[in-house]
Amino acid sequence: MEEEKKEVVEETKAPETAPIPEVNVSEMNEEEVQLEKADAKYDAGNIQVLEGLEAVRKRPGMYIGTTSSAGLHHLVWEIVDNAIDEALAGYCTEVKVTINPGDTITVVDNGRGIPVDVVKKSGLSGVETVYTVLHAGGKFGEGGGYKVSGGLHGVGASVVNALSEWCEVTVHKDGGVYYIKFVNGGKIVEHLKKIGTCDPKANGTTVTFKPDAQIFTDTTVYDYTIIRDRMRQVAYLNRGIKIIVEDARTPEKVHEEFCYKGGIKEYVLFINNHKTRLFDEVIYCEGTAPITLASGSEAHVYAEIAMQYDDGYSSNVYSFCNNVHTHEGGMHETGFRDAIRRVVNAYARQNKFLKDGEDDLTVDDITEGLTCVISVKHPNPQFEGQTKTKLGNSEVRKIVSQIVGDQLNRFLLEDPRLARIIIEKIVTAANARLAARKAREEIRRKGGLELNTLPGKLADCSSKNPEECELYIVEGNSAGGSAKNGRNRETQAILPLRGKILNVEKAQAKRIFANAEIGNMITAIGGGIDPEFDTSKIRYHKIVIMTDADVDGSHIRILLLTFFYRFMRPLITEGYVYIAQPPLYKVEYHGKQYYAYNDDQLETIKQKLKLKPGYPFQRYKGLGEMDAEQLWETTMDPSNRKMIRVTLNDAIAAEQIFTDLMGDNVDPRKEFIHANAKFVKNLDI
C-alpha cells in the first residue's frame, strides 16, 4: 500500500540536517527590518526597467506559479493551450505531444500556423512577436483570431521561450515551411526563414523546447503520467479533437491516443468507472446564449453539463471554463446549484416525495453521490480568486441555471423511473443528514466537539500560536508514550490512536461522527468539519501522521488521508498535512548510531563505513521499538527529521484513487495491487 499515495501527494523532503524550509519575508524580525530601511536609498536610480522577456526570468513564479515540477509541466500546458485554441476556433483537429530524450518537449498541431508576415505594431514577424513580446497574440479584442480562448493573456508562448534553454518553432503555412530558433531565454540565433515548401493545405505549428535548468532547479524531468492525464482531460473537454501523447525516452516508445466523440459525457463515465452507478444513463444538458460585450456587440456563451449518480456519499462537481479547471468554482457552479435545487425540490413536492411542512432538500442532499462536469466556453472570461481559477462572469450564472433547469426538468418528466431512483437517493441523503446532525449535536452536548474540552488522550503543547504548533497523530499508545516523552512540549502535541480509524469512504455520516477516534481528531484540530470547516480556526499548522513503516501503518495512513480528504479537505489543499518518515534501520558502529530510511541508504552506510559481515544493526518494525530519545532524534527533531507534505495536485485523480483504494468495489484494488506489487520492498506479512 506504500505506493497508494503517489497519485495524491507530492513529496517535499527536507535535507537530513535541516528543517523543512518555510522561508517568508514576513518572518524578518524588527531589527532586521530597520536595518533594511536604513540601508535603502530610494530614488530614480532604484527604478529598474526589465526589457523583453527579462521580467519573466526574473520573476518566473508570477507567470507560471512555481518553478517546481508543477511549473515545469505548466510550460507544456501553455503550448498545448495555443493548439487547443486553434481547435476551438475550428481550425485544428489533431495535437501531438512528445517527451523527447533529454526531456525536451515537442508539440505539433494542424491548425492555421502562426502568422509569418510582419506585425505592423511590433515590426517583427508574427512568430517572433508571439514568442518574444509579452501580451502579444491573436486573442485580444473582438478583432482577434479567436472567439474563445483559454490563454487570454498573450503570455504563454513568450513565457515558455523565456524559461527555456532553447526553443525552436517550425510553421507550415500557405505552402511554405518557416523556421526560427531562440536560446538562453528568448534570444534569436536563427531568424525566421523559409526552409522549404509543403502542401498549401498542410498548415500547422511545431514547437520544441528545452526547459532551462537554471530556472527549474528542482527538476527538469517530465512525468509522463501527469502529461498523459492532462491531455486526456483536454480531449474529453473538446469532443472530437484527437490528442496523441508519446514518451520517446525509452526504447519501448509509449504511444497513446485520445479522442472522444461523447466529450464530457464520456468523461463522467470515466470518472465513475469504478463506482457503483445507480443507472447507466448520463444526464446531459447543453445550450448557447447571447451576451453583449463591452463594445456593445453580441457574442455567445456555450455551456454543457454532464452528470450521473452513484451509490456513494461524496459530491464531485468539476467545473471548467475554456478548458481551464476552475478549482475554486464560480458563477457556472452557482448557476448549476441554483437550478438543481429549484428543479429537484419542485419535482419532489409535486410527486409527494416531500410532505407539506417538510424542509426543502439542500444542495448537499441533491449532490450526494453525484459526479458532474460543467464546461463553459466564454468569449471574455473573468477569472478571480486566490489562484485565479474562479469564474467571475455574473451572466454565466443565469445562463447555466436556465440551461440546466429546463433540460433537467424535462429529463425527470420524461423518465419517471429514473426520476424516482434519483429522488429516493436524495431523500435518503437528507434523512442521513438529519441523523448526522443529531449525532453531532449529541457529541457536542456531551462536550465531544467543544474546543474547551480537548480529548483526554491529547498531550497538548504549551504554545497557543498555531503557526508554530504541530499535532502528531501517532499509531498506538506505546509509540504515543515515546512521542510524549521525547517531544518539544512547547510546540509539539501528541494524539495517540487506538488501532485503525473508521473507513469514512464506506460509512454513513451518523456512524462517522459517533466514532471516538474521529471525534478526538475533530476536537483536537479545532477547525470543525465539512462543509463548515475553517482553517483559520485550526490549532496546529502542521498535522503530522506518524505511523509504523509497515503494511498496517500504510493502511492507517490512507485511512487518515481519506478522512481529511472527505471532511477537512482544506487541510490538504492548503498544505497543513504531513507524513512523518521514521527510519527503517539503525546501525551501530564504534559506539555511534546511524539511521537508514530505506534499503538503499542502508547499503550506502555499509559502503561508507566498510562494515564487515555480522555488523550489529536493527530493523524497526514499529515506532514502539524506539525509546523517546531515538524517536525525537530521528523523526521529530526539526533539525534532522524527514517529512512529506501532502498536497492535492489533481482533485479528479485524487477522487479516483480514494474511490479505488477505499471504496466498496474490490476489482480496482486488485488491479492496483497487480500493477504496483513489483515496487513494494520489505513486505511484512
Q: Confirm whether 22 is a catalytic residue.
A: no
Contacts of 114 (CB under 8 A, 6+ apart): 126, 127, 130, 169, 171, 173, 205
Q: Confirm whether 548 is a catalytic residue.
A: yes
Choosing from 550, 633, 655, 660, the catalytic residue is: 550
Q: In what side-by-side order are the strands of the sheet with 592-596?
A: 592-596, 585-589, 617-619
DSSP codes, 589-647: ETTEEEEESSHHHHHHHHHHHTPPTT--EEE-SSGGGS-HHHHIIIII-TTT--EEE--
Q: Confirm whether 490 is a catalytic residue.
A: no
Three-state DSSP class for residue 172? strand
- Residue 66 DSSP code: -
Cα gap 134→159, rounded to integer Å: 8
Cα angle 223-210-79, degrees, rounded to a multiple of 5: 75
Q: Is 77 in contact with 64 (CB distance < 8 Å)?
A: no
Q: Confirm whether 223 is a catalytic residue.
A: no
Helices (H) and strands (E) in the chain, counts: 21, 23
Choosing from 223, 468, 552, 650, the catalytic residue is: 552
Choosing from 109, 168, 548, 633, the catalytic residue is: 548
Residue with C-alpha cell 444526464? 283
Which of 236, 182, 233 has its CA nearest to residue 77? 233
Cα gap 198→514, rounded to integer Å: 71
Q: What is the Cα gyration radius of the chain?
A: 28
Cα gap 242→220, rounded to integer Å: 27
Distance of CA 569 to the CA centre of its chain: 12
Q: Is 167 in contact with 131 (CB distance < 8 Å)?
A: yes
How many residues belong to the chain? 685
For residue 679 the three cell numbers come to: 515496487
Sign of torsion over alpha carbons 196, 197, 202, 203? positive
For residue 503 the three cell numbers come to: 473507513
Q: Which ranges of 133-179 does DSSP label H, i.e. alpha helix?
A: 156-162
Contacts of 340 (CB under 8 A, 6+ apart): 363, 366, 367, 404, 408
Q: What residues form DSSP beta bridges with 320?
A: 325, 375
Burial class of residue 259 in the structure, from the number of CB atoms within 10 Å of its CB (0-12 exposed, 13-18 middle, 19+ buried): middle
Choosing from 85, 165, 229, 475, the catalytic residue is: 475
For residue 595 the three cell numbers come to: 539511521
Q: At what angle do helices 264-271 and 651-662 cross, to 10 degrees?
A: 40
Q: Is 559 in contact with 500 (CB distance < 8 Å)?
A: yes
Q: What are phi and psi of 108, to 5 degrees?
A: -120, 135
Burial class of residue 10 in the structure, from the number of CB atoms within 10 Å of its CB (0-12 exposed, 13-18 middle, 19+ buried): middle
Cα gap 109→88, rounded to integer Å: 13
DSSP codes, 541-552: SEEEEE--SSHH
| Side chain identity, residue 167 | C
Sign of torsion over alpha carbons 6, 9, 10, 14? negative
Residues annotated as catalytic (active site), given as ranges: 475, 548, 550, 552
